[in-house]
Structure formats: C-alpha cells, structure tokens
Amino acid sequence: MRSWKFWIGLGISLVFLGVALTGLDLQHFWQALRAARYWWLLPGIGVYFVTVWVRTWRWRAMLGHLRPVPLRRLFPVVVIGYMGNNVYPLRAGEVLRSYVLRRNEGVPMSSSLATVVLERMFDGLVMLLFVFATLPFAPAPPVFRVLVIGFSALFGIAFMVFMLLAARPERMSRYYGYLVDRLLPVGLRPRVHGLFDRFVIGLQSLRSPRDLLVILGATILIWLGETLKYWFVMHAFPFEVPFTVLMLMTAVVNLFTTIPSTPGYIGTFDAPGIAVLTRFGVPHAVAAGYTLVLHVALWLPITLLGAWYMLRFSLNWRDMERAAALVEHDGAVAPAQPLLEREELARRVTP
C-alpha cells in the first residue's frame, strides 16, 4: 500500500466504479441478486476450468522450444499465476507464474516471461477480432470504435516488433546492443544484454507458421469458451441477449482490464460490462447484478484453487519479492560473456 502504483490503481478503480454505479436503483439491484438462479454458475465454472486447461496447453506449446513440460505439472503453475493476477496489482501473477516455473522446471524467467507477453498479445488480438466480428450484429457506441482503433494500433505494433525480434534475432540484437552500450553504465550492460537474449529465445514460437496457427486457434477457443461461461451465467438472470453481444462484452471487458487498477480488476471489469448490456436493452439493475455475479464467478474459483496450489508447493507472499529479484538474476551475465550469450542465441534460433 506504500507504492504509488497501488494508489493510482485504486483511483482508476474508483472512477470506473463511480461510472458503473451512477443511476443504479439499489432496490431493483438487490431484487435481481435475490431472484437469481445460482445453479447456472456450476456449468459456467466447469467451462471456465476447461478454458484454463486449454490455456495451459497453449503455454506448453509456447514453451516447447525452451523445455517440454507435462500438462499435469504445468496446470498448477498457470492456476497460481491467474490467482496472483487476482490478488496482486498490475498482473504481477504473471511474474509469479514464471517464478514457479523456474523453481519447478528450471526455465529461465526472462524467457518464460516472453511467452507470457506473447499470450497477452494473442489474447488482445483475438479480443479485437471478436469486436470486429460482432459489431455488424451488435453495434457499439462510438467510444468503443475509438478504443478499438487505439487497441488495434497498440497490439499491431507489438506484434510487428515481436515478429522482427523472432525473425531477425541477430540483427535486432546488434541494434539493441548498440543502444544499450551507448546509453547504459558499463556495469549494467551485461545484465541487460542477457535479459534481451533470453527474452528473444522465448519468442521463437513465432518463427513457425504452424505454431502461430496453433496458438491463434487455441486463443480463439479459449475466448469462445469464456464467452460460453458468460452465456451460462446469463441464464441465472431474467434477460437474454444474443451470443454475439456476449462476445462483444467479453472483448470489451477484457480490453478494459488491461488498464491498471486494483487487484481483481474492480471497476475496470464492471463498468464496461454493464455499459455493453444496458446498450442492448438490459435494465441497469439487472446488468449490474449479472456483472457482479459473473465477476465473482470468474474471480473466486481460480483464486481458491491457486491458493491451494500455493500451499501445496510451499509458496508464500514473499515469493513475489523473490520472483522480482530473479528476473534480474536470470539476465545477469559476467562482463566477459555477452558474446557467448549471442552464440547460444544464434544456435537456438537457427532453423
């Protein structure tokens, strides 16, 4: 709580909560919650955990060039990471996930973090695909179109940069090395070079067209599955919208949760979700009740399972600090070793 990042996230969450609650009829809101048929959450939660398993399979495909890890050993690591995202600010669970993978499987954190960044990039691209695919059937307000253009530019630039890094690692390493050697103190250069080299190694799944198609197909399947959970939870409440509207809601909500906020995406999940539903005729109180229940159903089960896995692996909250320290340690190389690092990189990325 002493961190300025925490207070910025809290302020953003409060702004979004204010937007979500403006004009809310609390009496009708509580009526919607009391009348909900909560047994519909069970198939929704079941579908959600199937998507978590598919996420694990996707991450395993991305890690294949680093080290093959069986799905049964990787699944708890993924769950711990998503639990960390729900209780730490700024998606710090991704760092925790890479830390647990390093501890259990010996995969360097800087390389596995590159695959995590790739996951997020593909998630963002599929969310934008959902928006473009559903807008003709579920027209959104002009502000959504502006956001789509902004996010499209952001993810498009990131994708092109990553493709360049993966396709031309030696050339990009020379450009990067030139900047590092000119701008950073001598003592920091070997460490930063090591981080860059291992990060590029983590991007090598982008070199294979087959791997690209597999990752993209898995990502589409993941988000269709998550939309299916939205559909199941919808049946607990007295409204019905087309599946395309729920696809749009899934995309908009998850794009907004990339904005820094409190742990668990309080406000940044709720306000855009309510806005999409009310846009398509769902009463504000019902939309707010549905979004709240959906948010809890997405947050609570994975968080409880992740906490159980943390106890099983003898992890504690201080491991987050160890994780942050090990990111730097993984990139550290002796001053005489940068050339060896580049030779290792060249061997590992040569087709």
340 vs 289: which has the higher pLDDT: 289
**Amino acid, single-letter form, for residue 220:** I
pLDDT at position 332: 44
* Burial of residue 143, with CB atoms counted within 10 A of its CB: 0-12 exposed, 13-18 middle, 19 or more buried: exposed
The parent domain of residue 264 ranges over: 4-349
pTM to 2 decimal places: 0.80
**For 255-270, how does the pLDDT look when each residue is reduced to its tens digit (9 = 90+)?**
888 888 888 899 999 9
Give residue for tokens 């259990």: 104
The DSSP result for 144-187, as a single string, is: HHHHHHHHHHHHHHHHHHHHHHHHSHHHHHHHHHHHHHHHS-TT
pLDDT in tens, 22-62: 999 999 999 999 999 999 999 999 999 999 999 999 999 88
- How many separate domains does the chain show? 1
Q: How many residues does the chain have?
A: 351
Which of 230, 236, 291 shows the shortest CA–CA distance to 265? 291
Please, which pLDDT band fits residue 348 given cuts at 50, 70 and 90? Answer: very low
pLDDT average, residue stretch 78-95: 86
pLDDT in tens, 305-346: 999 999 998 887 777 667 666 655 554 433 333 433 444 444
pLDDT higher at 250 or 349: 250
Cβ-contact 269, 295 below 8 angstroms: yes
Instruction: Report pLDDT for 289.
Output: 97
Alpha helices, H only, 241-312: 243-256, 270-279, 284-312
